[in-house]
Chains A and B, each alone.
Chain A
Amino acid sequence: MSEAGTLVEVDHLFKTYPVADRGDRLVLDDLNFRLQPGEIVAVLGKSGSGKSTFLRIIAGLSEPSQGEVRYRGRPVDGPVRGAGMVFQSFALFPWLTVLGNVELGLEALNVPRDERRKRAEAAIDLIGLDGFESAYPKELSGGMRQRVGFARALVINPDVLLLDEPFSALDVLTAETLRGDLVDLWRDRKIPTQSILMVSHNIEESVEMADRILIFSSDPGRIRAEIPVPLPRPRDWNSPGFRHIVDQVYTILTTVPGGAAGKRARGEPGAEGQEFTMRIPNAPTQQLSALIDTLMESRYRGRADLPDLAEYQNLAVDDLFVLLDGMQLLGFAHVGGGDVELTPAGKAFSNAEMDERKRIFANHLLSNVPLAAHIQKVLQERPNHRAPASRFLTELEDHMSEEEANDTLERIINWGRYAELFAYDYDTETFRLEEPESE
């Protein structure tokens, strides 16, 4: 019982991945979604929120663990016919010319040679690469390669365009131009595409292009909110309407949801086994200190509006939020309502000299991150003050996948080294308490 005209229907979608020896990990949690003709929908979220997985399930490249996905009323059971996909890494075949790459989809559809050539050349012309038909991808810049990616998708006359962070790998100017060209083509109906579903991690880009924005939360991925963008096109980044919606998005993204997910992010001290379940954000100390220092600048004086901060520091959603998570976890800042504010400890950190900074950092690390305290305790208890990394990895792997355990340990090593809490020897893969020996 599918609704007439709806291009994509997603009902109660769940996706789990098996983790070695540990059962399954939930990646997507009960998603429901409709894509109607005539709209551009952006899917926004931090990396790891499952948005790419979501797109691939809709495209038919991946299978749902539970739930139904329908494309034009028919269940999706393999790569969907009539949808074109554009990839973040362009995914062009290096040994085919521009023309060869664009013709790829048409060949597979058994379009006769002459018609194929004509349609491909028309698509290449449309996307602005006329004259480059016989060039190889390696001769082209990033922006031109992505144009080829678009031409390849458009030449098959798709009803739906599926875009997987198509502008992330491009520089700012090229991305802007390409975005504008794409929306123009769509609005002027130069392409038969009815709807576009785009995954992005750039807030401004999503607000510029989309009619509505789905905001994903991570771990597991869920649709946290849906924001309509009723602004007329072309959209001006500086208009009040635009900034208002951007603020809305930031607010949603920084509101820590109540319940388990939030608690886990903050980590209640004293809870059993917290050492090995807390996720450490990828926030290297260099960048943390830099961001804290920025917040102490006269411009902000310890408190900043997030969109403004992101623009000022030229940070994408992913980078900014990861650092904010780190700052919050360590107790140096508080994030909420679209703003970030330094705590007294954070201000003290910024005002201190290098040695004092390390001391403050070490204190906060020990009190807020149980894993660091655990490592230090183990090292102190052992007679030679050394412990192999594998010991901690095994403990971590009881609670998370192997890859996550490796990442967590790497990040704790970065923090621990800065705090001079312990040292780590890469070659022998051991933690130790004393000074590193010179070779």
Chain B
Amino acid sequence: MPSRLWGQPVRRWRDRLQPNFWDLVAFPMLFGLLTLIVVGAGGMTKPFDLGAPLTISLDGANLPYYALRTVLRMFIALGVSFLFTLIYAAAAAKSRMAEKILIPILDILQSIPILSFLTITVTGWIALFPGSLLGPECAAIFAIFTSQAWNMTFSLYQSLRTVPLDLQEAARMYHVGPWGRFWRLELPHAMPNLIWNMMMSVSGGWFFVVASEAFSVSGQNIELPGIGSYIATAIDQRNLPAVGYAVVTMFIVILGYDQLLFRPLLSWSNKFKPELEPGLEADRPWFLTMLQKAGLVQGFRLLFAESGRLWNRTVGIAFHRLLKAIGARDGVPMDRARSMPRWVERAYDLLLAAIAVYVTYRLGSVVESQLVLPEVGRVFLLGLATAVRVMVLIAIATCVWVPIGVWIGLRPGLTRRAQPIVQFMAAFPANLFFPVAVVLILKFRANTEVWLSPLMILGTQWYILFNVIAGASSLPRDFQYVARNLGVSRWVWWRRLIIPAIFPAYITGALTAAGGSWNAAIVSEWVQWGPTTLTATGIGAYIKMASNDGDNARLILGTGVLCIYVILLNRLFWRRLYDHAAERMRLDDV
């Protein structure tokens, strides 16, 4: 039941600004937040020169500060991702010519492993901010940005292309201009999916934050203050209790993120959905309630609304003037053909093809000049090894988590309690547990080829679980009744009812898990404990070693091959499965 009643009179701003109980909570939180930001930002711009030592103290008392730096990095990256998403997706959705190049680029970018981005661009960032810590910071933030931005952009792009036609017609009929339509129709329509993707990206992003804080540039080690570096130092010094402290700190951070951002944002995004979804109106997050009731926060909202109006009046009008100047007219019929003359399109296509050929040639010659063909062949085989590993792990995770997921999903009470926990576990960066695994492997002298593999799926298996739970919980009750009524056997029940019904959801989860595992391969096929290194055969180890040595040619080769594998697997395997599943298991008729 929605928590508001009909017939409430519209409340004036004056009433909402009255201080109340929630202000007691909001006030200190707000000031605490401001202080934290100032402290953290200050730390980011300390002077630094390449080669100067950056010491990370393993004293537990430093952990809160390191946590702050890590969180700050994450959210700066999120802000930049959001801006990027708005601009890139809007351009791709509105212009057919832009779309032709922007979307394929996005596709490729999505398959490049995050850590490759880091290693390739770090020298550039340092050159951009000489003498300051801001250089390496930006490199790390950029790496995190790449783990979030592509998902969000795709989501916004899809949403922008599927705005319901009747809403578009209504907006035009009532003379809402293009600027207004974007902010009041298209973006709100995209909000539920975008917010979900954003939160999923952040959840997945903690893994990369931790992994991208300690890296090496031209043989120099850089460790930015943060939990990731703390762990890296702990590994270096073989300090297992320190790892434990880091895990606890991370737990608190993720809990904070969950309560203060993830849940409230998700709950707020329900406002944009056209219909009430039954069963999803869970308990209102306390943080959201606070934000909506505290007088102080209302004051900010008023400020925000006013500045929004100012924004519309200045930038919005400037935008419309610009449109007029280039001859595009607002209020044009929707079906006016807007395509360029054919020869322009053809020329454009040729240009794109020429650029693609040239880039491939240049990249190829870089790689070729420094490496020989057998090397390329070897890398492909390494890629195959990792691919096999990923598939086997997904299969194992499937066998373990699907039955459990179905069991939970069919029980609504259990689902409500379990989903937040599973989402939490998906957010928790698994690489914090890697040192523990390494210690155990060393202790029992286990085979690294076999026992390093589970690390790849440690963090990503939760995606399978929670998608299966979601799929099972949306199984229509009637189906279960029919099965029970007909007294079907266990095996038939599984084969004919459950598996087909949850198949699309399962594929979504497995696809996400596979993608995450490829990324994780880079930090799990090559691990350290103090002076000891453990490796497994695979392309992840290859890339990691290349980046350690600063060998750019090998890095590009490894990254390229990994991309090819990911793209091929996606296109030929996962997407086909998903399309088949979605088509066959559809209940409604379209």
Contact = CB atoms under 8 A, between A and B. Distances in A.
Interface of A: 56, 59-63, 77-79, 81, 83-85, 87-91, 93-95, 99, 104-105, 107-109, 131-139, 152, 156, 427
Interface stretch (B200-208, B273-281, B379-387, B508-516): B273-281
Contact of B9 (A60, A87, A134, A137): A134
Given A93-B167, A95-B271, A152 B331 contact: no
B159 to A, nearest CB: 13
Given A91-B164, A95-B188, A427-B584, 6 more contacts: A59-B173, A78-B331, A87-B170, A136-B271, A137-B274, A156-B174
Which of the listed residues B175, B176, B273 has the most CB atoms from chain A within 10 Å of its own CB? B175
B174 A108 contact: yes
Interface of B: 2, 4, 6-11, 164, 166-167, 169-177, 180, 184-185, 188, 191, 271-276, 329, 331-336, 584
Contacts, number: 98
A135 B334 contact: no
Contact of A62 (B273, B276, B329, B333): B333
Given A78-B333, A79-B331, A61 B173 contact: yes
Contacts of B171: 104
B172 A61 contact: yes
Contact of B175 (A77, A87, A105): A105
A105 B173 CA distance: 8
A133 B172 contact: no
A87 B274 contact: no
A117 B274 CA distance: 24
Nearest to A439: B496
B185 A132 contact: no
A135 B172 CA distance: 24
Contacts of B335: 62-63
A79 B276 contact: no
A131 B173 contact: no
A286 to B, nearest CB: 15
Given A62-B333, A139-B2, A139-B6, A81 B175 contact: yes
A83 B175 CA distance: 11
Contacts of A94: 272-275
Most central of B173, B191, B275, B276 by chain A CB within 10 Å:
B173
B166 A89 contact: yes
B488 to A, nearest CB: 15
17 contacts: A56-B169, A77-B332, A77-B333, A78-B332, A90-B166, A94-B272, A108-B175, A108-B176, A132-B6, A134-B11, A138-B273, A138-B274, A138-B275, A138-B276, A152-B170, A152-B174, A427-B584
A56 B335 CA distance: 11
B329 A87 contact: no
B160 to A, nearest CB: 16
Contacts of B274: 94, 137-138
Contact of B174 (A105, A132, A139): A105
B177 A61 contact: no
Contacts of B169: 56, 61, 85, 87, 91
B192 to A, nearest CB: 10
A133 B333 contact: no
Given A105-B174, A139-B2, A99 B10 contact: yes
Nearest to A152: B174
B174 A104 contact: yes
A contacts with B: majority SS: loop
Contacts of B331: 60, 78-79
A131 B6 CA distance: 7
Contact of A93 (B4, B184, B334): B184
Nearest to B170: A91
Nearest to A137: B274
B333 A60 contact: yes
Nearest to A85: B173
Contacts of B333: 60-63, 77-79
Contacts of A427: 584
Nearest to A162: B173
Which residue of B9, B174, B272, B336 has the most chain A CB atoms within 10 A of its CB atom?
A: B174
A131 B275 CA distance: 21
A129 to B, nearest CB: 10
Contact of A95 (B180, B272, B275): B272
A134 B4 CA distance: 9
Nearest to A88: B166
Contact of A87 (B2, B4, B166, B275): B166
Q: Which 3 A-B pairs have the closest CB atoms?
A: A105-B174, A78-B331, A91-B170
Contact of A108 (B2, B9, B180, B275): B180
A95 B497 CA distance: 37
B7 A93 contact: no
Contacts of B176: 104, 107-108
A250 B543 CA distance: 76
A83 B170 CA distance: 12
Given A61-B333, A87-B166, A93-B188, A132 B7 contact: yes
Contacts of A62: 333-335
Nearest to A140: B6
A341 to B, nearest CB: 34
A176 B169 CA distance: 26
| Max count, chain B CB within 10 A of own CB: residue among A99, A104, A152 | A104
A279 B180 CA distance: 43
Contacts of A131: 6-7
B2 A61 contact: no
A133 B10 contact: yes
A370 B166 CA distance: 39
Given A62-B334, A104-B174, A108-B176, A91 B6 contact: no
Nearest to A63: B333
A78 B9 CA distance: 38
A121 to B, nearest CB: 9
Contacts of B584: 427
Nearest to B330: A78
Contacts of B272: 94-95
Contacts of A138: 273-276
Contacts of A91: 164, 166-167, 169-170
A62 to B, nearest CB: 5
Nearest to B334: A61
Contacts of B2: 136, 139
Contacts of B8: 134
A109 B176 CA distance: 9
Given A63-B335, A91-B170, A109 B175 contact: yes
Nearest to A132: B6
A66 B164 CA distance: 28
A77 B273 CA distance: 34
Nearest to B309: A113
Contacts of B336: 63
Contact of A134 (B10, B184, B329): B10
A193 to B, nearest CB: 15
A78 B332 CA distance: 4
A105 B169 CA distance: 13
A93 B332 CA distance: 22
Contacts of B6: 131-132, 134-135, 139
Contacts of A104: 171, 174, 176
A408 B2 CA distance: 45
Contacts of B329: 78
Given A62-B335, A138-B276, A85 B170 contact: yes
Nearest to B177: A108
A79 B172 contact: yes
B146 to A, nearest CB: 30
A89 B169 CA distance: 11
A234 B221 CA distance: 87
B16 to A, nearest CB: 13
Contacts of A134: 4, 6, 8-11
A90 B8 CA distance: 23
Contacts of A61: 169, 172-173, 333-334
A151 to B, nearest CB: 12
Contacts of A59: 173
